[in-house]
Amino acid sequence: MTGKKYQYIDLTYMYEIADDDLAFVREMLASFIEKIPPQFEQLLNSAVVSDYKQTSFLAHKLKASYQLMGVKLLADMAYRIEVDSAENPEPAILELVQSMKPLVDLAIGELQTELALIPLKPSSDL
Amino acid sequence: MKTILLIEDEELILRALEFRLKRDGYNVIKAADGREGLHQIETNNFDLLITDMMLPFNNGLEVVGKVKKIKGKAFPVIVLSNVGLENTVLEAFKMGADDYITKPFSPAELSIRVKRLLN
């Protein structure tokens, strides 16, 4: 259903968690699309002001959401930002965060495509 | 029905865990940070605690310590951890945690570990 259908996302894990409950997948995708861009902006802002403790914390949190949606490239970058911000804080971290922005947009675009394919129906488990 | 207190500040992960636990037939109480989690521990009855380690306000270690103090050393606790935080997990075990689950979590592993501690 998902596999290599997309370039930036892989929803295999998300569908495994949902156990064929498409309504739940729909809710999760919609939530990611709504909440992740502002969270990324927070990450960017913390990197801009060189608040490395906050940058590391936010990258850690974003990493988990990226993993959930199989956005491996962004999850790997978030992990690098998380570790570097904690262990070796330097201005280059801002460049890395900034380089994530177009990838976030592309991943969101693919998730919107997938979301449009899932029929509207409330989940029975939430 | 067994009740699980679930403390996780990343909303999508919290919802995914809640979904799986409800699918397995458990009642779930949620808390989105350490402070709310400590409040839930003090005010609610539940049978198992699952908590993330990196939490705003009060971290997972404080949460584990609090639940063991209030509910007793035998009260079952599972900690959630990311790869790379093994030292934090060890600290959680020293505080009395009974098991841990690495994120991204395996739904099957979650079911087994929860069932083992609740039975």
pLDDT (tens digit per residue) in B16-56: 999 999 999 999 999 999 999 999 999 999 999 999 998 88
Confidence of residue B80 (pLDDT cuts 50, 70, 90): very high
Please indicate whether, in this complex, the C-beta atoms of B15 and A126 are within 8 angstroms of each other. Answer: yes
The predicted pLDDT at position B88 comes to 83
* DSSP H or E run through A113: helix A92-117
Is residue A123, in this structure, part of any structural domain at all? no
User: What percentage of residues in chain B have a pLDDT greater than 70?
Assistant: 98
Q: What is the pLDDT of residue A123?
A: 60
Instruction: Read off the pLDDT band of A4 (50, 70, 90).
Output: confident
What is the domain-level CATH number for residue A37? Answer: 1.20.120
Contacts of A125 in chain B (CB under 8 A): 19, 22-23
Identity of the residue in A19, A35, A123 whose CB atom sits nearest the CB atom of B11: A35
Q: Is residue A59 part of a domain?
A: yes
Complete domains list, chain B, with CATH:
3-118 (3.40.50.2300)
Residue B9, class by beta-carbon neighbours within 10 Å (0-12 exposed, 13-18 middle, 19+ buried)? buried
What is the domain extent for residue A77? 12-116
Residue of A nearest to B81 (CA): A64
Tokens describing residue B59: 């971290």
Mean pLDDT of B80-94: 83
Point out the residue among A21, A27, A64 whose CB comes nearest to the CB of B10. Answer: A64
Which residues, other chains included, contact B72 with Cβ-Cβ below 8 Å and sequence gap of 6+? none
**Is B25 an interface residue toward A (CB < 8 Å)?**
no
Residue A82 lies in a domain: yes
